[in-house]
A and B are shown apart, each in its own frame.
Chain A
Amino acid sequence: MLSVRDVEKSFGGIRAVNGCSLEVERQSIVGIMGPNGAGKTTLFNIISGFEQPDRGAIVFKGENIEAKNSFEIARMGLIRTFQLTKVLSRMTVEENLLLAPKYQQGERIWNVWLRAREVRREEESNRARAHSLLRLFGLLPLKEEYAGALSGGQKRLLELARALMAEPDMLLLDEPFSGVNPTLGNKLLNHIKELRDRFNMTILIIEHDMHVIMRLCDYIYVLNRGRVIASGTPEEVQNDERVLDAYLGGGQYI
């Protein structure tokens, strides 16, 4: 589904990503872990087109995407979330979701006038879908609230619901559990599993929490200093000395 090959990216003197390669199979949940500053988010930014790599290739659904704009990558069905949640504060929860569907007729200025009826019908069907997603995440009672007024955990859920509203083939989730309380976290974990099992989605996820990532992922890549230092199934990674080193040893763990 997605393959990252020898990607490099420097900021000034810092090699944030230094020859990183990974593969994500269709319908799998793949985790990326690593200490702070390992280059996880930069790698995400490169995959989603928010940053351009200095070197290397990224192939998504058989197509090279490393030179594409981020909005084009999103249109191909690769949708990301952000480490620091980004909600549209002065728009309602419902509006946040309605923004997401791709290729809406009413997003073309002329269609607002020329195809008013089709636009209205499209809005109605999108709204129905938005409501069912909001219900799934327990946000339906809040649909008229400003998104900026939600709690941190609710914003995480909203962001995930919005990403799903875009009907992605693959999701990039950047620390979706941070700031979410354990109960909600458990629910979220089940939601994510369900996405793969029921909706055949492919998911690449950055996560710090060992327990979460062990329970959730089929395959794990461990990054340190911009390189993949280990990879394998959760059991393999758990017992890898290099991983323990990166996390606990050498004073690299902050």
Chain B
Amino acid sequence: MMIEYLITILLIASIYAIFALGLNLEWGFTGLVNFGHVAFLAIGAYTTVLLSLHGVPLFVSVLVGVALAGAFGALLGIPTLKLREDYLAIVTIGFAEIIRLFLLNEEWLTGGPMGVCGYPRPFEDIITGDYNLFMLSVVLSILILCYFMLEKLIKSPWGRVLKSIREDEDVPVSLGKNVFVYKIQSLVLGSMLAGLAGSLLAFYLQYINPRNFMPIETFYAWIAVVLGGSGNNKGTVLGAVILFCFFSATRFTQEYVPLHPTQMGALRIMLIGLLLILFMMYRPEGLFGKKEELML
């Protein structure tokens, strides 16, 4: 029982770690402010699920979901990334709400508030044992793959251009780098990671509806990135794990606290807020961030 619970926590934490790695690429390394990251999670999830319900092979539907998330990332970036940085922030907030309201209202396609269920999951009929355990191994492998892919990219000359954009855009421009193209690439890649996390989330949940894609999900990714230290992939993964361990730990305390479950839910969010404030006061660089970087 306990072990199954642990598997679930690790599973959901790993999915959100992939989600947060996407944001870390955009914010931590490129300095792009994306407040609508959840939109790409939703696009990945719904695309995968709806396609596979219409008979498209699972693997292909995941790929299309990821590609579509990336395409929407480019679509948002093209008009905004030539402007001042705050425009992207505003547009992404709006975009995430548009996507959620679309999912809520276009019942013919998305099932509206009822959402979608009964879709196939990978290798469902072959796996006889604990499906979540199987899924954890798949998700963990994907997470590790994404992690090493990102680390390699960040340490390459390509990653160096991203970091220079984060530091001061005028410098790479004055050295002949087409900054706009790099920002688009960062946003597309980050959105693709979110889309991939979305597909995995749908497989884990077995039933998705628009309430799974509220704006707060974006901020879970932000919390993971900030807790771990912006611009640090290891920290981001650990941040996601800590966040979800905390969520489930507080679930255990339910029976000892004289609070209604909804009150308990609100209290959890308050505690997370408090944790973040304490972090900002005593360890503003995050778990793996470098303190000396903050002084510069």
Contact = CB atoms under 8 A, between A and B. Distances in A.
Interface of A: 48, 50, 69-72, 74-75, 79-82, 86-91, 95, 98-100, 102, 104-109, 112-113, 119, 122-123, 146, 148-149, 162, 166
A87 B175 CA distance: 12
23 contacts: A50-B170, A72-B176, A74-B174, A74-B175, A79-B175, A81-B174, A87-B171, A91-B160, A91-B163, A91-B164, A91-B167, A95-B163, A106-B156, A109-B185, A112-B152, A119-B157, A146-B293, A146-B296, A148-B295, A148-B296, A149-B292, A149-B295, A166-B176
A-B complex: 3 closest residue pairs judged by Cβ atoms? A148-B296, A106-B157, A74-B176
Given A106-B157, A107-B161, A90 B293 contact: yes
Interface residues of B, number: 28
Contacts of B161: 99, 107
Given A86-B168, A90-B163, A149 B296 contact: yes
B172 A86 contact: no
Contacts, number: 98
A166 B175 contact: yes
Of B157, B173, B177, B296, the most chain A CB neighbours within 10 A belong to B157
Given A74-B173, A99-B175, A88 B158 contact: no
A88 B175 CA distance: 13
A130 to B, nearest CB: 12
B174 A112 contact: no
A59 to B, nearest CB: 19
A106 B158 contact: yes
Given A81-B174, A99-B171, A112-B153, 5 more contacts: A70-B173, A79-B175, A90-B167, A100-B175, A162-B175
A119 B72 CA distance: 30
Nearest to B153: A112
B43 interface: no
Interface string B198-220: 00000000000000000000000
A71 B157 contact: no
A34 to B, nearest CB: 23
Contacts of A72: 176
A71 B156 contact: no
Contacts of A162: 175
Given A107-B177, A112-B153, A86 B171 contact: yes
B173 A88 contact: no
Interface string B143-182: 0000000001100111011011011101111111111000
B160 A99 contact: yes
Contacts of B164: 88, 91, 99
Nearest to A48: B174
A236 to B, nearest CB: 32
Nearest to A149: B296
